[in-house]
C-alpha cells in the first residue's frame, strides 16, 4: 500500500495480516499518519520517505493479538522533521527493527515509544538512527513497564558518520520493573566518528519507589492501582501524541485498564 502526504494531511491506516506500507511526504507538506496494526496483523514492512522541508508525525499503535514483526525504514531529506510514537501494550510478543537514515542537513527525527511487557511476553527492539549529514538531529526515548516474567530487550544505536559536523544524537531508556522474574536488557550505543557533535544517553531500570507507592496508597489507591498510575506515566508521552481528543481518551483508558488502574486488588 502507498500513501502520500501532500500539503496538509491526516491519514489513518489499518494494517492486517502481512503488509507492506510505503509512506511518502512531499516537499512543504505537513501532517499526521496514524498506523494501527490490527488484531490479525502478523508483520509490517514500513518505509517512510520524506522529501525536503516536509514535516510529519507518525503514530504506530499495536493492537495485534498474537505476534508481530515490524520493520521500519526511514529516509529523511534536507530539513525534514518526523516525530514518531510507538505504543504497544498488547499481551503478545513484538519484534521491532528500525533504521532511520538522516540523509541531508537539517533532518530531524524524534522517537518516543511506550511498551508494556506482560507475563512471559517478549518485546525486542533494535533501533538505529544513522547520521549521514551534518546538522542532523536524532533522539530516541524508549519507555517500558515490565510485569512478572515480562521480557524487554532494546538496542538503541545513534550512529554519527565521519564528516557530519554538528550532528546531535540523544537517547534515553527508562524501564519500570514490577513483580518478579522479569528480564530487561537495554543496550544504548553511540557510534561516533566525528569530533564536532553532541551526544548523550541515559538509562534507568528499577522498581517503583517505595515512598511514592506509600504516598499514592495513603490517598486510597490500592497497591495495584498505585502501580498502574505510576506505569501510566510511562505511556503518557506517546498517548499525548494523539491529536484527536476522543481517540486519545480511548487509548488512554485502554492503557489504564491494561496496567491495572481499574483493578481493585
Print the binding letters for residues 242-261 with other proteins: x by CB under 8 A, - otherwise: -------------------x
Determine, following the binding rule CB under 8 A, whether residue 225 of this chain makes contact with other proteins: yes
Q: C-beta of 132: minimal distance to other proteins in Å?
A: 34
Out of 217, 244, 253, 257, the only residue in the binding site for other proteins (CB under 8 A) is 217
Give the nearest distance from C-beta 89 to other proteins in angstroms: 15
Stretch that binds other proteins, among 12-20, 71-79, 84-92, 222-230 (CB under 8 A): 222-230
- Please state whether beta strands 198-206 and 151-160 pair in parallel, antiparallel, or not at all (unpaired): unpaired
Nearer to other proteins, 195 or 220 (CB): 220
Q: Select from 47, 172, 229, 254 the one that contacts other proteins (CB under 8 A).
A: 229
Q: How many residues make contact with other proteins (CB under 8 A)?
A: 23
Q: Torsion angle, CA of 93/12/111/188, rounded to 10 degrees?
A: 20
**Contact pick of 195, 220, 245, 246 for other proteins (by CB under 8 A):** 220
Residue closer to other proteins (CB basis): 155 or 203: 203
CA atoms of 206 and 49, how far apart (whole Å)? 37
Tell the smallest beta-carbon distance from residue 253 to other proteins (Å). Answer: 11
Backbone angles phi, psi at 122, to 5 degrees: -110, 130
Segment interacting with other proteins (CB under 8 A) among 18-26, 86-94, 127-135, 209-217: 209-217
Stretch that binds other proteins, among 44-52, 115-123, 154-162, 207-215 (CB under 8 A): 207-215
Q: How many residues does the chain have?
A: 265
Find the binder of other proteins among 43, 124, 222, 248 (CB under 8 A). 222
Least Cβ distance, residue 61 to other proteins (angstroms): 20
Which span sits near other proteins by CB under 8 A: 6-14, 31-39, 186-194, 233-241? Answer: 233-241
Can you give the binding site for other proteins, defined by CB under 8 A? 209-212, 214-223, 225-226, 229-230, 232-234, 236, 261
Amino acid at each position: 500500500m502507498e500513501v502520500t502526504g501532500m500539503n496538509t494531511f491526516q491519514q489513518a491506516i489499518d494494517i492486517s495480516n502481512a503488509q507492506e506500507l510505503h509512506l511518502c511526504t512531499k516537499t512543504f507538506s505537513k501532517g499526521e499518519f496514524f498506523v494501527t496494526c490490527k488484531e490479525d496483523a502478523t508483520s509490517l514492512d514500513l518505509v517512510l520517505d520524506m522529501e525536503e522541508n516536509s514535516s510529519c508525525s507518525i503514530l504506530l499503535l499495536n493492537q495485534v493479538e498474537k505476534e508481530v514483526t515490524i520493520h521500519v525504514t526511514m529516509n529523511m531529506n534536507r530539513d525534514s522533521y518526523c516525530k514518531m510514537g510507538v505504543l504497544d501494550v498488547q499481551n503478545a510478543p513484538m519484534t521491532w527493527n528500525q533504521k532511520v537514515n538522516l540523509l541531508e542537513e537539517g533532518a530531524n527525527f524524534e522517537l518516543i515509544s511506550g511498551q508494556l511487557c506482560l507475563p512471559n511476553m517478549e518485546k525486542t527492539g533494535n533501533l538505529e538512527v544513522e547520521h549521514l549529514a551534518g546538522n542532523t538531529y536524532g533522539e530516541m526515548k524508549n519507555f517500558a513497564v515490565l510485569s512478572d516474567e515480562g521480557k524487554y530487550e532494546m538496542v538503541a544505536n545513534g550512529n554519527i558518520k565521519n564528516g557530519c559536523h554538528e550532528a546531535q544524537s540523544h537517547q534515553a531508556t527508562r524501564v519500570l520493573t514490577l513483580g518478579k522474574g522479569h528480564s530487561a536488557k537495554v543496550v544504548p550505543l553511540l557510534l561516533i566518528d566525528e569530533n564536532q557533535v553532541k551526544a548523550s544517553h541515559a538509562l534507568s531500570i528499577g522498581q517503583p519507589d517505595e515512598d511514592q507507592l506509600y504516598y499514592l496508597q495513603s490517598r486510597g489507591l490500592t497497591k495495584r492501582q498505585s502501580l498502574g498510575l505510576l506505569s501510566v506515566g510511562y505511556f503518557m508521552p506517546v498517548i499525548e501524541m494523539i491529536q484527536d481528543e476522543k481517540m486519545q481518551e480511548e487509548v488512554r483508558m485502554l492503557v489504564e485498564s491494561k496496567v491495572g488502574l481499574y483493578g481493585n486488588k
